């Protein structure tokens, strides 16, 4: 009856995704049904790890993260965990041969959030890689389903997409990151002197990531292409809204796309893609 246990753990990861992120949920729903559960499982894992460092202020976050990491590796090696998030995640890791180094890099970035508040250029790149790029690579492992040549050819673009998403998140969350967590991710950026030139420099870097990422999306397996493209379109729309926003407002307001506009974007992207037969 272990299939019932596994079924419920996968549902837990799906519920976590649906609860925390409507944008990623919409994108995942456009993936082929066969690869939806593993992507939910990856998101559930990274979401809960991120929750430890961002939310559980009244607890010993370092110990919680240490235990989470220990339980993660144990679940992967033993192929079972009574933690539903970790059990569903280990299924994906073992089935798709996700490199443990990717998981290690991700958890390392979560540890960085426990102690670092200001990032220089090297630490910024290190954090982006571990917190976002490797998540894209985990998903790419699922999308390529054992096709190593395909995976290797798409690796740079998958990293660029993850980086673009994360950098947009940094811009969107500058206020809460600084005021609630004391963090400033962008290197050599002073929260109190965030001007047009600084904002423009960051935006040019993000535009480069988005441009590289789109070329990779065009070459993704058909089972994954539409779902990833929808997530890409959502983040590009959010990014454009941030670009139109004055620096002082970025520092005082969390820029977002409301759920109705997200749904409209989903339908529009779906119809455009199906009618034109290309990205």
Per-residue pLDDT, 24:
87
Distance, in Å, from the CA atom of 39 to the CA atom of 191, rounded to the nearest integer, reads: 35
CA-CA-CA-CA torsion sign (40, 26, 51, 111): positive
Q: Do residues 66 and 110 lie in contact, with contact meaning Cβ atoms separated by under 8 Å?
A: no
Domain count, the chain: 1
Over the chain, what HEC string results?
CHHHHHHHHHHHHHHHHHHHCHHHHHHHHCCCHHHHHHHHHHHHHHHHHHHHHHHCCCCCHHHHHHHHHHHHHHHHHHCCCCCHHHHHHHHHHHHHCCCHHHHHHHHHHHHHHHHCCECCHHHHHHHHHHHHHHHHHHHHHHHHCCCHHHHHHHHHHHHHHHHHHHHHHHHHCHHHHHHHHCCECCCCCCHHHCCHHHHHHHHHHHHHHHHHHHHHHCCCCHHHHHHHHHHHHHHHHHHHHHHCCCHHHHCCCCCCCCHHHHHHHHHHHHHHHHHHCCC
Along the 279 residues of the chain, how does pLDDT read in single tens digits?
788 999 999 999 999 999 998 888 888 999 999 999 999 999 999 999 999 999 998 999 999 999 999 999 999 999 999 999 999 999 999 999 999 999 999 999 999 999 877 888 999 999 999 999 999 999 999 999 999 999 999 999 999 999 999 999 999 988 888 777 778 888 878 777 888 999 999 999 999 999 999 999 999 999 999 999 999 999 999 999 999 999 888 888 888 888 777 776 777 776 677 656 677
Q: Residue 83 maps to which CATH number?
A: 1.10.600.10
**Euclidean distance between the first and the last CA atom of the chain, given in angstroms as a whole number:** 43
Q: What dihedral do alpha carbons 5, 142, 228, 83 form, nearest 10°?
A: 30
The model carries a pTM of 0.92
Q: Do residues 166 and 125 lie in contact, with contact meaning Cβ atoms separated by under 8 Å?
A: no
Per-residue pLDDT, 191:
74
| The two three-digit tokens of residue 5, written as one number | 């246990």
Per-residue pLDDT, 115:
87
Q: Do residues 44 and 16 lie in contact, with contact meaning Cβ atoms separated by under 8 Å?
A: yes
Per-residue pLDDT, 277:
62
The boundaries of the domain holding residue 121 are: 2-276
């Amino acid at each position: 009856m272990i299939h019932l246990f596994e079924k419920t753990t996968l549902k837990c990861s799906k519920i976590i995704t649906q609860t925390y992120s409507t944008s990623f949920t919409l994108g995942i729903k456009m993936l082929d049904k066969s690869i939806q559960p593993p992507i939910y499982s990856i998101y559930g894992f990274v979401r809960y790890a991120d929750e430890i460092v961002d939310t559980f202020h009244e607890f010993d976050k370092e110990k919680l993260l240490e235990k989470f990491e220990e339980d993660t590796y144990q679940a992967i090696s033993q192929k079972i965990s009574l933690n539903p998030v970790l059990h569903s995640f280990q299924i994906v890791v073992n089935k798709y041969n996700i490199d443990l180094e990717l998981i290690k890099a991700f958890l390392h970035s979560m540890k960085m959030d426990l102690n670092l508040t200001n990032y220089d250029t090297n630490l910024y790149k290190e954090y982006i890689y571990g917190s976002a790029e490797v998540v894209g690579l985990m998903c790419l492992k699922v999308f390529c389903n054992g096709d190593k040549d395909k995976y290797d050819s798409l690796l740079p673009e998958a990293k660029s997409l993850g980086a673009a998403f994360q950098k947009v998140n940094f811009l969107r969350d500058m206020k809460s990151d600084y005021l609630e967590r004391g963090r400033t991710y962008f290197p050599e950026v002073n929260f109190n002197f965030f001007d047009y030139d600084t904002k423009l420099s960051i935006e040019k870097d993000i535009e480069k990531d988005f441009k590289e990422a789109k070329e990779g999306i065009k070459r993704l397996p058909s089972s994954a292409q539409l779902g990833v493209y929808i997530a890409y379109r959502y983040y590009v729309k959010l990014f454009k809204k941030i670009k139109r926003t004055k620096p002082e407002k970025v520092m005082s307001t969390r820029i977002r796309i409301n759920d109705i506009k997200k749904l409209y974007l989903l339908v529009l992207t779906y119809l455009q893609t199906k009618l034109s037969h290309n990205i």
